[in-house]
Amino acid sequence: GIISLISLAVLSYERCCTMTRTAEPDTTNYRKTWTAIILSWTYSLLWTAPPLFGWSSYAPEGPGITCSVNWHSKDANNASYIVCLFVFCLVIPFAIIVYSYGKLLCAVRQVSSIPRGPGRRREQRVLVMVVVMVVCFLLCWLPYAAVALTATFGQPGLITPAASIIPAILAKSSTVYNPIIYVFLNKQVSEML
């Protein structure tokens, strides 16, 4: 889950950098791509390893089918990890996504400020893609974050195993949505297909 969140943030930032650069991208140099992949996985590992070393723990999630952070433990050790996880693995990636797509949208608006039809249509397509990606990100991860924070800081037993199934499935399926949205809302990719 964390790698998917970080990957979405990195992809949005890279998409923003690629679209707002004036020079043509070098498609033969994969160093930046490999660096982004390695940094994404390293960052994710840094945030998933602490429960293995005593900062919080892993436990069965929901009806016991999957394993996740122990959201139901009420001790300070666990609560501090969950707050850090929430901030560094949800809030910050979301802020990067909003910043990147917002900057991309501003760049597209500047380019298409000339009142021509194609520029205006392109701006509208980018706006739709940005809004759909951000909304899907929120729909996938906010229910899971709300359930996790409620289970951690709410009354014991407030979140039942059955109530946690849908948010967990939404969060785990989030990696599928971004490429699908990009394929269907990107005119060049749709035309290729």
CATH of the domain at 47: 1.20.1070.10
Residue 45: per-residue pLDDT: 95
d(CA 141, CA 168): 9
* Residue 43: CB atoms within 10 Å: 19
pTM for this prediction: 0.75
Residue 131: per-residue pLDDT: 76
| pLDDT tens, residue by residue, 46-56 | 999 999 999 99
Count of the separate structural domains present in the chain: 1
Return the structure tokens found at 98.
């909003």
Residue-wise DSSP of 55-114 = SS-EEEETTTTEEEE-TT--SHHHHHHHHHHHIIIIIHHHHHHHHHHHHHHHHHHHHTTS
Structural domain span for residue 80? 1-191
Residue 24: per-residue pLDDT: 61
